[in-house]
Amino acid sequence: MKKYTLIILILITATALLYPRTHIICQEGTGAFATIAAGIDVALDGDTLLVYPGTYYENIDYDGKDIVITSLYGVESDDRSIIRETIIDGNEEGTVVAFKSGETRNAVLNGFTIQNGWSSFHRNCHFYSTGGGIFIDESSPVISNCYIENNMGYNGSGIFAQGGGNPLLKGNIIRYNQNICNQGAIRTWNVDLQFCTTSLNSVYKNYGSRDIFILSDHQSPIVVDTFTVKNPDKGEFVVIQDIPDDFYMTVNHGKIEPVAADS
């Protein structure tokens, strides 16, 4: 009898490993976990963390796991107010979300407000503390439908990406982030940060810095819905270095209208 019981337990365990699971994250105690970090600890590649509305004061790391962390937006509802109601707040204690262990496009962050991050000193980073909202190193995650705002840092106050890879941004709004070193709310080094051309991002009104600072020998075309200005000056709003001559940037709408001033 014990032999058959052991076989059944082995089969149940093997089945659990083969099929992706969904873990409910809810602060009210009705889910599997009350924090996102606790869900990441037990998640396996292919799993989903479904996060219910609330403010989660956390600094999370995907820890090399190709998992989906998503709010209810796009899963149970297309009401964008859910994004504003499902918040990961870094509490000014470091980077809010980190991908730094080789995560692929199967690692997804979807439908959150990412706020109050403070750039951290990350391993293998050749710059000052980086990535207030999101830090990416040698990884290629998908970041979609997020408000990335009110984060601070020295480099890449909103998003910092380095070390190869081709992360994908889809339908995000990146705004109101504050840089100390004038190095860009979005800052890249040696990485092809891809901007989706169908689900457009918006990048505007980031403080104390240019909106985008790219240092790479390859950069896919940047197409955005809304930028700070319709025709960005490459010194004031965008800095792009060492990329091919065929690179182009397309802006559909400007948030503000530049005003001519005496020199």
When pLDDT is cut at 50, 70 and 90, the band that residue 12 belongs to is very low
At 67, which amino acid appears? I
Mean local confidence (pLDDT), 6-15? 46
pLDDT at 235: 64
Render pLDDT for 54-103 as a digit per residue (tens, 0 to 9). 999 999 999 999 999 999 999 999 999 999 999 999 999 999 999 999 99
User: Within 10 A of 23 (CB to CB), how many other CB atoms are there?
Assistant: 20
Contacts of 262 (CB under 8 A, 6+ apart): none
Place of tokens 């796009």: 74
175 sits in which H/E element: strand 173-175
Report the C-alpha gap between 13 and 7 in whole angstroms.
10
The model's pTM: 0.89
User: Domain segments of the chain: what residues?
Assistant: 55-254
Locate 209 and state its tokens: 């810095």
Report the distance separating Cα 64 and Cα 44, nearest Å: 10
For residue 190 the two structure tokens come to 């040696």
pLDDT digits (tens, 9 = 90+) for 19-37: 899 999 999 988 899 999 9
Please give the C-alpha separations between residue 126 and each of 121, 143, 159, in angstroms, as whole numbers: 9, 24, 16
Give the burial class of 164: count Cβ atoms within 10 A of its Cβ; 0-12 exposed, 13-18 middle, 19 or more buried: middle
pLDDT over 90 (residue 201): yes
Q: How many CA atoms lie within 13 A of 184 on its CB side?
A: 21
- pLDDT (mean) for 104-108: 98
114 vs 120: which has the higher pLDDT: 114
pLDDT > 70? residue 7: no
DSSP assigned state of 46: T
C-alpha–C-alpha distance, residues 46 and 195, integer Å? 24
